[in-house]
Amino acid sequence: MSDVPEWRRSRAKRVQAAAIAAIGAPLVGLIGRTLRWRVEGLEHLDEVVRSGRQPIMGFWHGRILTATWFFRGRGIVVITSENFDGEWIARIIERFGYRTARGSTSRGAVRALLQLKRDLAAGCPVGFTLDGPRGPARRAQPGAVWLAGASGQPLVPFHLEAARHWSTRSWDRTQIPKPFSLVALAVGRPIEVPPDADEPTLEAKRLELETSLESLAARTIALLQPGTASREP
């Protein structure tokens, strides 16, 4: 029983997680179908796939909703927390064609990372909320960088920004796009991590990943400006 998260021992919590997913998934789909898109850099992701490799896709936790909709149906394996929030998030994204590996920086991390390594070897792309599950916001945890080195697969950072949205009061300020909003997606160049990387190299790559995401966030703001060419997904 010690390995079972405390919330799972509560029938009320389990019912609550199921209810959130049952309501949340249709809402994501309802909003997602109305969104308009401006996309830049998707060729970086396409090139990785065409080369026969699998991307380790990294983004910030606060953009889960729009990322879930845009990249749906690709069989991406996503690491999700074993806590209560991770449960209902997993249930929602699985309805959009994702698979999940359970773990976080605080619990089950090694098991989840090893599972993701096996998934990459089996030909599955992987997704990471780099600052999850509890933050600090927009600070990349080292797991994705380690996985890139251990698997030999590239990190592909991306960022999304909705022109019109609500923001939650959570630590990550989760962004919920308003119906019919314009959303910008910017995908960065792949980041390679050497298989024999030492700790200083891993830290340098982690910082490179953060810097890339900062640039992509700025680029999405620019893409939302009037007159920018758009591409429908």
* H, E, C per residue of 116-165: HHHHHHCCCCEEEECCCCCCCCCCCCCHHHHHHHHHCCCEEEEEEEECCE
Residue 190 preceded by cis peptide, ω within 30: no
Q: From residue 40, how far is each of 61, 71, 110, 190, 232 by CA, in Å? A: 20, 14, 34, 14, 11
Instruction: Determine, yes or no, domain membership for 186.
Output: yes
User: What is the chain's mean pLDDT, rounded?
Assistant: 92
> Does residue 176 have a pLDDT over 50?
yes
Rounded-to-integer distance, Cα 225 and Cα 148, Å: 34
Number of structural domains in the chain: 1
Q: State yes or no: pLDDT of 157 exceeds 80.
A: yes
pLDDT at 41: 97
Share of the chain above pLDDT 70, in %: 94
Quote the domain boundaries for residue 38. 6-223
Give the pTM.
0.90
CATH of the domain at 39: 3.40.1130
Instruction: Confirm whether 181 is domain-assigned.
Output: yes
Distance between CA 161 and CA 165 in Å, rounded? 9
| Residue 119 placed within a domain | yes
